Amino acid sequence: MEIPIQQLIEEIKAKKVFGRNKKRVELKILSALLYFYGLSLRKTSKFISLFQQISHESVRIYYHKIKGVLKPPEKKDRRLIAIDETKLKLGDEQIFVWSAIDVDTKECLFIWATDGRSSFHAYVFLKEALKYCENKPEVIVDRGFWYKWALQRLRLKCRHETFGERNAVERFFSLLKRRTKRFFNRFLPRSSFESVQSWLESFMGFYNLEVLS
């Protein structure tokens, strides 16, 4: 699939995402994409600096800021969404990352980091994901007990699967974990929950840009 680079350039310039800057917009986009695809901040900086000097901190900023022009999921009828959560770390503390994937389009509807995993977390997560659905789609879940009350509260039909169409969310988490493995599935201790959420939203934005292009 071909990512619409020219469209990104035009939207970044129109929205003045970076303000006045001598660095070329094309290189900023390329920096963010290389980091999304798996290079470290420093390796990305080293490669891009062959064309124009860019620091690893600048690469980090570009990755977070470009999500401002990446379109959110469209609100429409959706047949089936698969939901799940996975574990990462923020410093030495365990956190949970929740994700909802449209089984048909493969796009990520919502991603969310929390410090706990409960029925209330599941309810808030599902309610946010439903903002991108015109209807109330059927939901695929695993056996996590924390989903039961949330699904009942929101009056959502669900089915339990380990494989099959639930693989849509498993594949998404496989890509996410492949990326976070580069920093040992652990965000730095000095990172805030806000920065972790921003990182995840950027990942979701670039992922959706690719699967929908």
Tell me the average pLDDT across 40-60: 96
Q: How far lies 86's CA from each of 33, 45, 180, in Å?
A: 24, 30, 12
pLDDT for residue 19: 80
Pairwise pLDDT comparison (1 vs 91), residue with the higher score: 91
Find the range with the poorest average confidence among 9-18, 110-119, 166-175, 195-204: 9-18
Give me the torsion for CA of 185, 128, 79, 105, rounded to 10°: -50
Structure confidence at residue 53 as a pLDDT band (50, 70, 90):
very high
Strand partners, 85: 98
Which contacts (CB < 8 Å, 24+ apart) does range 164-167 have?
A: 165/80, 165/82, 165/103, 165/140, 166/82, 166/84, 166/140, 166/142, 167/82
106-149 confidence digits (pLDDT tens): 999 999 999 999 999 999 999 999 999 999 999 999 988 999 99
Four-residue CA torsion sign, 15, 21, 26, 30: negative
